[in-house]
Structure 1
Amino acid sequence: MRSIRGLLAVIALIASSLLLSPASAHAAPGDLTCTEDESVSYSPGLLNTRRPVDVTVHNVLSCTSLADPAVTRGQVQATIRGLDRSCTDLAASGSGSYTITWNTGETSTIGYSRSANYVLGTLVIVENGTVTAGKFAGDSVLHVVELPNLDLLACLAEPGLTSISGIGSYVFT
């Protein structure tokens, strides 16, 4: 686990350096950094063949903000119904948006593009995005998630892969 966290730190540093461009020069460095506990559940569970599933995401963030010290926590809570998914989609690239609700009652909507890879048996997801509305609007966002110990053998038969969880980090600049 220690080597995976070290690898995530290197990935986060490289990716954050890629985010620093003239277009993002207006944002103060380190507007917000967060650690994250992420959990995702699937109903019915994921199999190796695609089928409609409901995906529920619950992420809890612990944060430090230079731009607004009152922001100390956040969460993402969403259920998306009827997505056509399978276990083979876990490492798929894609794009989308979601909203974080902060402990101050404010929200941030993030539009992102995602890449995912297996590193030493752990699914590592990297999302690069921008806050498109709400708190920290205009900031670039780097979100890295590590999902270790996936039970991919569960994908072979019912009830399938019903949940995954891991840790992550956010950097807003």
Structure 2
Amino acid sequence: MRGLPAVVALIASSLLFPPAPAHAAPGDPTCTENESVSYSPGLLTTPRTVDVTVHNVLSCTSLTDPAVTRGQVRATIHGLDRSCTDLAASGSGSYTITWNTGETSTISYHRSANYVLGTLVIVENGTVTAGKFTGDSVLHVVELLNLDLTACLAEPGLTTASGIGTYTFA
């Protein structure tokens, strides 16, 4: 009977303080990124319907899974209304990273896009909703550098953009 108060206290504390939901382990991946984007047809100063193809190549370090060293994102979005003044609009969506281990992570995000001194800076705050690192929050920042906005003045328009970025999982 001496252990009964301890058991009652343990049960009461588990009801008052339920276990926290799963969260990221310290040391989940951080990645640098090279991003390339193509627009078909090219972007002009006035909006038109285009297909946008994105290819991100990631180089990563992960203490929780040292086998994860690389990743990539390949996606084509059809039928977007875009111009050179809104290469990447703010909004929400999802995409999948394929890791060098063959595993994937699906990320749901909210994006903001702003021009800073001629560079398009895109910030995505998201969460891994499926696959490897599920439950992690993700901060993705990419800068599309050296945009040739003079290409927007005539056909074929701005057809490509590229930049560098980071992914931080936490």
Fold conserved between structures, TM > 0.5: yes
**1:146 aligns to 2:143 (yes or no):** yes
Q: TM-score when scaled to structure 2?
A: 0.84
**Structure 1 letter corresponding to 2:107:** I
- Aligned-partner Cα distance in 2 for 1:67–1:47: 45
- Residues 80-128 of structure 1 show CA distances to partners (whole Å, capped at 9, x for unaligned) of 2222221121253111111100001011110111112222221111110
TM superposition outliers: structure 1 runs of 4+ over 4 Å: none
Q: CA RMSD in A?
A: 1.6
Distance 1:82 1:155, change over 3 A: same
Q: Which runs of 5+ in 1 are unaligned?
A: 1-22
CA contact (8 A) 1:106 1:135 kept: yes
Q: Superposed, which structure 2 residues align to 1:80-119 within 5 Å?
A: 80-90=77-87, 92-119=89-116
Q: 1:30–1:171: 8 Å Cα contact kept in structure 2?
A: no
1:53 counterpart residue number = 50
User: Of 128, 131, 146, which aligns to 1:131?
Assistant: 128
Aligned equivalents of 1:30, 1:115: Cα separation in 2? 26
Identity of aligned residues (%): 87
Aligned with 2:39 (options 37, 42, 54): 42
The count of residues paired between Structure 1 and Structure 2 equals: 151
1:91–1:118 CA contact under 8 A, matched in 2: no
